[in-house]
């Protein structure tokens, strides 16, 4: 199979690495890719939301399958675009259609969907400018802290959690007043859920599904989960409290009703579904849906996937995931992100990366890197994801941290407490 992979982060580097191992692969292109993905295929400078440009490339190169790494192209409707174009009929897009992508693209849509199918989530209501007074009244019925979410995609910044009612009311006014532009024209207000967060990943062909390993990511920039939210500073997989009993509940209460709901509404979902969950006293609640794999969760899940990734994608295409044999490594994976100092605010790029060839016993997935005159330079906030796999979390983390200390670039920063809350 000829594959075009869309994206340029650590997730796409991990995907490129796994796809390159596939028995089914004949050639792999990554758009736009990074300095790491080049080891596994050919980087091509395509704009992943310019479907005309992608179409030209796909037709010219006879691509069999497009794997969408990030949500950008899915939310914009790449799957629908390919289905509607005769010249693209033979090319399958791994990832759901635009209407399913609303599960990620609109918090209001996701909440209404969960209510319709009785999927456990926090008590909530949605407000817009004309209903601002009702919004204030609703806030008064909730205990602190207060959770306010912009309905649309707001570059990961659209969720605010505040401690006092007066702050919550001010934020509600600001959001409806355009704090996040169009994205906060509607605001979802919801009850705060107390518990441990985790993510569960599902591969589905629209009817059948397979559960991939659970993971936990560390979103804040600072140790002890302090400071600003980031794309993710590290992750571990699997999560020990996501045991058989808990995952059974996830399947029965969340995965199955979600897939039934999608079918019921005629929404075609052929790809990966990311369930952001809260474990509230042993019961799973949905915090969010994403219509793709996570980053950096993919960097811990894929090293545990022993079966062939492209065979899984083919089963998604053919509706035969029920007979796909999913084989998962029973060890533990951990990843630590090396980032540019200043991230998630301003940071410098273009710094030379040193000692990359000295790492051992780990996977180094490039995130924000580029090659210039045969030198690897930093090219983003998140620069590398270093993954260790071992029989215990402790050993997996040792592998990450040993190598995190070796790779070097000006302004390198990483959290030194990834997974510490889960060490037993
Ligand atoms: P979201 O974009 O909806 O995933 O929200 C971002 C983050 O805010 C989540 O990963 C949680 O840490 C936190 N969060 C969102 N909703 C809630 C809630 N109802 N209760 C507690 N924490 C929440
Ligand atoms: N690590 C969180 C995400 O990929 O959305």
Domains of the chain by residue range = 2-95, 123-191, 196-323, 332-413
Q: Are 247 and 215 in contact (CB under 8 A)?
A: no
Cβ partners under 8 Å of residue 25, min gap 6: 1, 3, 19, 310
Query: Is residue 389 classed as helix, strand or coil in its secondary structure?
Result: strand
CA neighbor of 76 nearest in space, from 56, 49, 110:
49
Q: What is residue 92's three-state secondary structure?
A: strand
Give dist(CA 153, CA 74) in Å, integer: 13
CATH match for 123-191 among 3.40.50.970, 3.40.50.1100, 3.30.1490.20, 3.40.1170.10: 3.30.1490.20
Question: What is the CA(296)–ligand 2 centre distance, in A?
Answer: 7
Say which residues have a Cβ less than 8 Å from residue 266's Cβ, sequence separation at least 6: none
Ligand 1 centre distance from Cα of residue 351 (Å): 34
Q: What is the CATH number of domain 196-323?
A: 3.30.470.20
Query: Rounded to 10 degrees, what is the CA torsion of 243, 293, 379, 17?
Result: 90
Measured by CA distance, the residue closest to atom 14 of ligand 1 is: 287
Index of the ligand 1 atom closest to the CA of residue 190: 19
CA-nearest residue, atom 4 of ligand 2:
294
Q: What is the pLDDT along the chain (424 residues), one digit of tens a residue?
A: 999 999 999 999 999 999 999 999 999 999 999 999 999 999 999 999 999 999 999 999 999 999 999 999 999 999 999 999 999 999 999 999 999 989 999 999 999 999 999 999 999 999 999 999 999 999 999 999 999 999 998 877 899 999 999 999 999 999 999 999 999 999 999 999 999 999 999 999 999 999 999 999 999 999 999 998 899 999 999 999 999 999 999 999 999 999 999 999 999 999 999 999 999 999 999 999 999 999 999 999 999 999 999 999 999 999 999 999 999 999 999 999 999 999 999 999 999 999 999 999 999 999 999 999 999 999 999 999 999 999 999 999 999 999 999 999 999 999 999 999 987 6
Whether residue 98 contacts residue 79, with contact meaning beta carbons closer than 8 Å, is answered with: yes
3-state secondary structure of 97: coil
Q: Which fold has domain 332-413?
A: 3.90.600
The CATH number corresponding to 2-95 among 3.40.50.720, 1.10.1370.30, 3.10.20.30, 3.40.50.20 equals 3.40.50.20
| Strand ranges of the sheet holding 209-211, from the earlier edge strand across to the other edge | 209-211, 196-204, 271-280, 283-290
| Residue 288 Cα to ligand 1 middle (Å) | 8
SS3 128: strand
69 lines ligand 2 (CB under 6 A): no
| DSSP H/E element including 62 | none
């Amino acid at each position: 199979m000829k594959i075009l992979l869309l994206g340029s982060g650590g997730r796409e580097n991990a995907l490129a690495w796994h796809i390159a191992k596939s028995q089914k692969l004949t050639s792999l292109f990554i758009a736009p890719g990074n300095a790491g993905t080049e080891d596994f295929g050919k980087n091509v400078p395509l704009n992943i939301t310019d479907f005309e440009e992608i179409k030209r490339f796909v037709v010219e190169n006879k691509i069999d399958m497009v794997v969408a790494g990030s949500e950008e192209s899915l939310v914009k409707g790449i799957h629908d675009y390919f289905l509607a174009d005769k010249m693209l009929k033979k090319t399958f897009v791994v990832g759901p259609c635009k209407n399913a992508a609303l599960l990620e693209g609109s918090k209001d849509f996701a909440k209404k969907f969960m209510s319709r199918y009785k999927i456990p989530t926090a008590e909530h209501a949605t407000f817009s400018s004309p209903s601002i007074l009702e919004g204030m009244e609703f806030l008064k019925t909730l205990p602190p802290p207060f959770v306010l979410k912009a309905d649309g995609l707001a570059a990961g910044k659209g969720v605010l959690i505040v401690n006092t009612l007066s702050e919550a009311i001010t934020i509600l006014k600001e959001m409806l007043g355009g704090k996040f532009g169009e994205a906060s024209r509607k605001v979802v207000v919801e009850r705060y859920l107390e518990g441990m967060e985790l993510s569960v990943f599902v591969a589905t062909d629209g009817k059948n599904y397979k559960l991939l390993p659970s993971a936990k990511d560390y979103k804040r920039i600072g140790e002890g989960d302090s400071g600003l939210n980031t794309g993710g500073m590290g992750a571990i997989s699997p999560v020990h409290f996501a045991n058989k009993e808990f995952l059974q509940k996830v399947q029965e209460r969340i995965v199955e009703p979600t897939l039934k709901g999608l079918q019921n509404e005629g929404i075609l979902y052929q790809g990966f579904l990311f369930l952001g969950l809260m474990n509230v006293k042993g019961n799973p609640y949905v915090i969010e849906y994403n219509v793709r794999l996570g980053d950096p969760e993919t960097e811990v899940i894929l090293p545990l996937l022993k079966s062939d990734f492209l065979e899984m994608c083919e089963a998604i295409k053919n509706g035969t995931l029920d007979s796909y044999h999913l084989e998962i490594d029973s060890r533990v994976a951990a990843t630590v992100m090396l980032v540019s100092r200043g991230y998630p605010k301003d940071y410098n790029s273009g710094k030379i990366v040193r000692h990359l060839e000295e790492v051992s016993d780990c996977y180094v997935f490039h995130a924000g890197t580029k090659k210039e005159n045969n030198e690897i330079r930093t090219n983003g906030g998140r620069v590398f994801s270093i993954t260790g796999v071992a029989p215990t979390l402790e050993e997996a983390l040792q592998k990450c941290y040993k190598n995190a200390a070796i790779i070097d670039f000006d302004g390198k920063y990483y959290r030194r407490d990834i997974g510490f809350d889960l060490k037993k």
